[in-house]
């Protein structure tokens, strides 16, 4: 009735006669705890975790020479299909940082929105995408991309952007490798989307053979962070 105070506050309330005509004594309060135990409502409402996990900002130091030499980024992008689900993928030359985003549709406006998200990812880390290498399907975006300072270089009829084709093949191989180990005959679309993101996350976690560094992963160079085994390796996909 009095709002579930602590035992000390309740005793203090009775001793100071803060509630006139109260028939309860301090000894009654002590006896009630012995007979009935601690207040269940107070235990459920006031108990907190004793040792919560601290927030760790484990940023990776990236030499300034890497930023200076690779400030201008050449981006390669394409659309791939995983179980008939379209994904906009991209990879940066030299850094080999890979991104993959599920496309709701292949309309010009939708693709442009996802490309701007990729541009923002690099710009937040101090990089600027100067040239984008894509096939003829993206030719309609040339004016829009030029307005935000990015040149679109579409491929000719017999040309191929080998960087993104190789990256797409690697993504599909990793997705299929994980898929083969799952105890399911079919996956819902949301699970396939997470599977692609899962594989891309781990591809960015290891330094590629032809990358900028043998010790720094693409994730470390672009985002200045590494994966943590306690957070990212708790359970398999």
pLDDT at 158: 66
Print pLDDT tens along the chain (237 aa): 888 888 888 888 888 888 888 898 999 999 999 999 988 888 888 887 777 666 666 677 777 888 888 888 999 999 999 999 999 999 998 889 999 999 988 888 888 999 999 999 888 888 888 899 998 888 888 888 888 888 888 877 667 788 999 999 999 999 999 999 999 988 999 999 999 999 999 999 999 888 888 888 999 888 888 888 888 888 888
Q: Which two tokens stand for residue 196?
A: 């692609």
Query: How far is residue 46 from each of residues 6, 7, 24, 41, 53, measured CA to CA in Å?
Result: 10, 13, 24, 8, 19
Closest CA to 78 of 114, 109, 121, 128: 114
DSSP per-residue codes, 162-182: HHHHHHHHHHHHHHHHHHTTS
Based on its alpha-carbon atoms, the radius of gyration of the chain, rounded to whole angstroms, reads 29
Q: What is the pLDDT of residues 156-196, one digit of tens each?
A: 766 778 899 999 999 999 999 999 999 998 899 999 999 99
* C-alpha–C-alpha distance, residues 194 and 142, integer Å: 30
pLDDT at 170: 95
* C-alpha–C-alpha distance, residues 237 and 88, integer Å: 22
Look up the pTM and report it. Answer: 0.73
Beta-sheet pairing, 98-102 with 85-92: antiparallel
CA angle 63, 131, 173 (to 5 degrees): 75
* C-alpha–C-alpha distance, residues 217 and 221, integer Å: 6
Query: What dotted CATH number matches 64-232?
Result: 3.30.420.10
Residue ranges, comma separated, of all CATH 3.30.420.10 domains in the chain are 64-232
Q: Is the dihedral of CA 202, 204, 209, 213 positive or negative?
A: negative
CB-CB contact of 11 with 27 (8 Å): no
Q: Which residues, 6+ apart, have CB-to-CB distance to 134 below 8 Å?
A: 76, 77, 78, 152, 153, 154, 155, 161
Q: Is 77 exposed, middle or buried (0-12, 13-18, 19+ CB in 10 A)?
A: buried
């Amino acid at each position: 009735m009095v709002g579930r105070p602590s035992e000390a506050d309740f005793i203090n309330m009775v001793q100071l006669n803060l509630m006139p005509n109260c028939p309860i004594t301090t000894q009654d309060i002590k006896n009630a705890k012995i007979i009935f135990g601690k207040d269940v409502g107070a235990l459920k409402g006031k108990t907190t975790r004793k040792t919560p996990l601290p927030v760790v900002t484990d940023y990776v130091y990236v030499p300034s020479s890497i930023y200076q030499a690779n400030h201008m980024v050449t981006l390669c992008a394409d659309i791939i299909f995983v179980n008939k689900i379209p994904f906009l993928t991209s990879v940066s030359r030299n850094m080999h940082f890979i991104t993959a985003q599920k496309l709701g549709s292949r309309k010009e406006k939708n693709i442009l929105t996802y490309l701007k998200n990729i541009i923002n990812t690099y710009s937040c880390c101090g990089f600027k995408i100067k040239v984008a290498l894509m096939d003829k399907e993206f030719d309609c975006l040339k004016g829009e991309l030029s307005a935000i300072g990015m040149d679109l270089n579409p491929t000719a009829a017999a040309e191929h952007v080998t960087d993104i084709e190789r990256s797409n093949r690697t993504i599909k191989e990793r997705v299929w490798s994980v898929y083969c180990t799952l105890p399911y005959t079919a996956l819902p679309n949301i699970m396939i989307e997470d599977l692609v993101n899962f594989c891309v996350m781990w591809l960015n976690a290891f330094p590629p053979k032809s990358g900028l560094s043998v010790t720094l992963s693409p994730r470390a160079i672009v985002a200045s962070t590494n994966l943590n085994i306690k957070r990212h390796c708790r359970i398999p996909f």
